[in-house]
Chain A
Amino acid sequence: QVQLQESGPGLVKPSQTLSLTCAVSGDSISSGGYSWSWIRQPPGKGLEWIGYIYHSGGSAYYNPSLRSRVTLSVDRSKNQISLSVNSVTAADTAVYYCTRLSNGVFDPWGQGTLVTVSS
């Protein structure tokens, strides 16, 4: 049974870069032809899809509203996915989730990690 665990700094200063990793256990990122995605949820607000990347790391698709600031990557040697968001503001404060994407279905999800943008 695949499990995902997000990790990274809980506090990031405005204008800096937010970097998170998602460790995948129970399956290899390279197997199964899955894609891997990040979704976030600001406190008290709704879900926002950030982007997804193919297991090969060859192609990635991003939310148009975030595309200029977001990068996803795959590290197959570590079996993990990474998210980078640059030039962050308070609006990027959210719980960030990583999830597996298969045939249009986001499942399973990690437990999520709260990132606060504040000086």
Chain B
Amino acid sequence: QSALTQPASVSGSPGQSITISCTGTSSDVGGYDYVSWFQQYPGKVPKLVIFDVNNRPSGVSYRFSGSKSGNTASLTISGLQTEDEADYYCYSYTSSSTYVFGSGTKVTVL
């Protein structure tokens, strides 16, 4: 199985909105709503920010939202803040009962 495709980097100014895409196939992203997103700071454990395409865990800022269209899922961060500068990873369940991660996106706050 191939890693889901994410842009290597996305940047934005404070207060702006950015969107990170996560593209797979009909056998993973397009076929299931088990798509989630993690935020990871350097040297830290990944933190879940979105699960099941568009659900936020308790305690995660409302500025994080998720969506999916066809074989592409997206994570949007609105009102970008300096603390949002981190790496972001998507993952999806697959038709083989396995999981596959995205390649990761580095978010830079300008």
Contacts and interface: CB of A to CB of B under 8 A. Distances in A.
A107 B98 CA distance: 16
Q: Which DSSP category, helix, strand, loop or mixed, fits chain A's interface?
A: strand
Interface string A3-45: 0000000000000000000000000000000000101000000
A49 B91 contact: yes
Contact of A112 (B45, B91, B97, B101): B45
Tell which of A37, A47, A61, A112 has the most Cβ of chain B within 10 Å.
Answer: A47
A47 B36 CA distance: 13
B103 interface: yes
Contacts of B52: 103-105
B99 A49 contact: yes
A65 to B, nearest CB: 8
A63 interface: yes
Contacts, number: 59
On chain A, which size bracket covers the interface?
Answer: 20 to 34
A15 B57 CA distance: 41
B3 A46 contact: yes
Interface string A54-67: 00000001111100
B5 to A, nearest CB: 12
B32 to A, nearest CB: 8
Interface string B53-79: 000010000000000000000000000
Contact of A46 (B36, B93, B96, B103): B103
Interface string B76-94: 0000000000000101010
A27 B21 CA distance: 36
A48 B2 CA distance: 11
Interface of B: 1, 3, 32, 34, 36, 38, 40, 45-46, 48, 51-52, 57, 89, 91, 93, 96-104
Closest 9 CB pairs of A and B: A104-B34, A46-B104, A49-B99, A47-B101, A105-B51, A109-B45, A107-B48, A61-B97, A104-B93
Interface of A: 37, 39, 46-49, 52, 61-65, 97, 103-107, 109-112
